[in-house]
Amino acid sequence: MRAAVLFTLPLPEPFDYAVPDGMAVAPGSIVMAPLGPQQRVGVVWSVSDAEGSNLKPLTSVFDTPPLPQALRDFLDWAARYLVQPPGQLLAMVLRSREALEDGPYETLVTLAPAPSEAGTEAASLRITPARERVLARAAAGPATRTDLAAAAEASTAVVAGLIKAGRLTEIRRAVDTPFEAPDPTLPGRPLSADQAAARDRIAQALASGTFAPLLLDGVTGSGKTEVYLEAIAAALAADPAAQVLVLLPEIALTQSVFARIEQRFGAPPAQWHSDVQPAARRRVWREVAAGRARIVVGARSALFLPFARLRLIVIDEEHDGSYKQDEGLRYHARDLAVARAKQEAATIVLASATPSLETRANALAGRYGHVLLPGRFGTATLPAIELVDMKAERPAPDHWLSPPLVAAMRDRLERGEQSLLFLNRRGFAPVVLCRACGHRMKAPDTDSWLVEHRYSGRLVCHLTGYSIPKPDRCPACGDIDGLVPVGPGVERVLAEARSLFPQARVEILSSDTATSPAAVRDVVARMEAREIDILVGTQIVAKGHNFPHLTLVGVVDADLGLKGGDPRAGERTYQLLSQVAGRAGRAGLPGVAMIQTHYPDSEALQALLAGDSEGFLAAETMAREGLGLPPYGRLAALHLMAPDPAQVDAAARAASEALIAAEGVDVWGPAPPPLTVIRGWHRRRFLVRADRSVDLSAYMAAWRGAFKVPGAVRVSVDIEPYSFL
Ligand code: ADP
């Protein structure tokens, strides 16, 4: 037999090996095989009977279940779609090496394959009734020595004798502590009529047993989570082997969903994200592969787990930009999740209060089912929106909170309610400038300003993490104490809130102050327990959390997202502001969101004010349709990078010359992107727009194959880019 093995390397295709006699491999088996001088992990992509001369033999097989066909098909599809070597996708599945390493084992006894010829003992062995009972039992399946002996009503010595005689053999099998089985029959909360209808829609899709994508569309607090919990219950109850994956955009959000799942099903789900320790990863990976972990909650990489029987995927906050991975393998977890659901013939629920234009277009066109939850659950109402025109309501110099917002905060303090101040900017100040000569502190190897962080006393490049202690004199003119912070970051807003309300408990939540999920959890828990009066935070506070006593949300600067040449800028601003505003007034107390802006007339803000999301989205949609941008066309980027600007320009010329003219395809570039240099690498970019009827992946693959660049130049393809910096 011959096996084609795909390695977790950027190679174009699988390589052939001979399967040694007696080695049991099937498509999907994870194997060790020699590649050059090394032994490498790979996966059998196909097997055939064809004789192969001079093929090297496989070295060994891991005792994991083979990767299922649906997963392998998904990887092949994704490799083609993303214009990546298939091994690069396989690497996502096998990224946690500990999954293959030795873990806890048990030794089981089973029938030997055939009575060994050499063992004269075996031939001459007298089959006593006790031995016969043991052999009969062993034929029913592997068991431990003790269990086998007990089941056969024989002593363990009889079993030992049969092993010695070669009639029985011992095998080792990994035993990971199994996950407690979730119990879908525990009572859920009684659903409202709308919720029950939504749940039934999803349950119906599940029962169809075919690929079924659904948009679960309802404002924050409408009870989407409650609905998908009941949909999970339906999936688990309908099929005792069914597995469910819940994807969340941020690790910080997993805790609350984790707790709600545990409460609903009486058992904690498996978790998969970068913060999960290696031993736990091994257990999750193995238990998922064995089909025993039935509910997995995870970040985008959980999409690559080897589910045995995936029936339902939930993508919570499906519009969230963090589903797009922009480093290493560039992929959008939501888009790939839909593709995976298709391969698995599973149901996929995309949940959001502010669906992306892409998903919305799919729902409007009838490609996705549209499940609507009108209004908030129970007596909770949506917060009132107030726009604060910062041209009229000016804060004092070097202050950022307008008089109306400060008055509203004071009012909340007096009533014992909570306020949340939101600013999507880490650090103390986004720019540091010399008062004497005007010099701005810039990163040495990257086109970005250094951001002042007061907690660490450093100036930090947010793109690369480069940082220096804040100098006491201007590096350009030498002026002592001339460097001043310009503009606000969350740390500065925190300082302002504390000086305004010295008696209040004011705290901050940003990725700099809460560096682990546990730290985030701690702040969130104290906010829930009303141990905090005013919370100042970045987008980490905008999503998902449920603070019952929060009645005021202040958006410090709504104009941040409106600049920049990103086609999704307006949509993103709208989504972020509705998400953050949606934090207020969730438990029946009326909530207010006050939005500070210099552009109160902008379309996104006017739509928010009027609660007219449909109108806003319709206008955005028309604009995109007119330009043939996603979802009415496809986009891809080709990035080139090199340490030497002349070399990257030469490579960009080579790419230009190799361009293939095609109908329905526009290519812009090469152009230097706004961040022209990152970590000393000079960048050039092409943007490709294509009509929906064009196979853009095939186009990009053909183009990429049509030119060569020197080794020092990196070329990468980004299908559906989300970052235009
Ligand atoms: P969403 O996910 O749409 O933001 P949630 O599912 O978190 O909404 O629901 C918002 C709030 O309403 C939560 O506190 C939740 O516990 C509560 N809630 C939603 N549905 C129900 C229900 N059927 N019974 C009781 N409480 C509910």
DSSP state of 465: -
pLDDT in tens, 280-311: 888 899 999 999 999 999 999 999 999 999 99
For ligand 1, atom 11, which residue shows the shortest CA distance? 221
Q: Measure 230 CA to ligand 1 centroid, in angstroms.
A: 12
DSSP string, 24-75: ---TT-EEEEEETTEEEEEEEEEEE----TTPPBP-EE-SSPPPPHHHHHHH
Q: Measure 425 CA to ligand 1 centroid, in angstroms.
A: 30
What is the architecture of the domain spanning 193-373? 3-Layer(aba) Sandwich (3.40)
pLDDT above 80 (res 369): yes
pLDDT in tens, 3-38: 999 999 988 899 999 999 888 899 999 999 999 899
DSSP string, 135-162: HHHHTT--B-HHHHHHHTT--HHHHHHH
For ligand 1, atom 19, which residue shows the shortest CA distance? 223
Q: Measure 414 CA to ligand 1 centroid, in angstroms.
A: 28
Q: Measure 329 CA to ligand 1 centroid, in angstroms.
A: 36
Residue 245 has a pLDDT of 98
**Residue 471 to residues 141, 312, 452, Cα–Cα distance (Å):** 72, 54, 11
Q: Which residues contact 647 (CB under 8 A, 6 or more apart)?
A: 710, 712, 713
Residue 544 has a pLDDT of 64
Residue 626 has a pLDDT of 81
Full-model pTM: 0.80
For ligand 1, atom 24, which residue shows the shortest CA distance? 189
- The CATH code belonging to domain 633-719 is 3.30.70.600
pLDDT in tens, 462-510: 777 788 999 999 999 999 888 999 888 999 999 999 999 999 999 999 8
With cut-offs at 50, 70 and 90, classify the pLDDT of residue 44. very high
| DSSP three-state, residue 199 | helix
| Most confident residue range from 272-281, 445-454, 685-694 | 685-694
Residue 498 has a pLDDT of 96
The pair of three-digit structure tokens given for residue 559, joined into one six-digit string: 């104009």
Ligand 1 pocket: which of 230, 377, 379, 546 to mutate (most atoms within 8 A of CB): 377
pLDDT in tens, 163-176: 988 899 888 776 67
Q: Are strands 310-316 and 458-460 parallel, antiparallel or unpaired?
A: unpaired
For ligand 1, atom 17, which residue shows the shortest CA distance? 223
**Residue 501 to residues 427, 428, 640, Cα–Cα distance (Å):** 21, 19, 51
> How far apart are alpha carbons 169 and 42 in whole angstroms?
28
Q: Measure 380 CA to ligand 1 centroid, in angstroms.
A: 10
Determine whether domain 2-94 maps to CATH 3.30.70.260.
Answer: no
Any idea of the CA torsion for 129, 130, 131, 136, to the nearest 10 degrees? 90
Query: Which residues face 40 on adjacent strands?
Result: 33
Q: What is the mean pLDDT of residues 253-281?
A: 88
Residue 376 has a pLDDT of 67
Ligand 1, CB cutoff 6 Å, lining residues: 189-192, 195, 218, 220-226, 377, 546
Q: Which residues contact 40 (CB under 8 A, 6 or more apart)?
A: 7, 8, 9, 32, 33, 34
Neighbours of 465 (CB within 10 A): 8
Q: Measure 185 CA to ligand 1 centroid, in angstroms.
A: 20
What is the homologous superfamily of the domain 384-425+489-622 according to CATH?
A: P-loop containing nucleotide triphosphate hydrolases (3.40.50.300)
- Choose between 51 and 321: higher pLDDT: 321
With cut-offs at 50, 70 and 90, classify the pLDDT of residue 54. confident
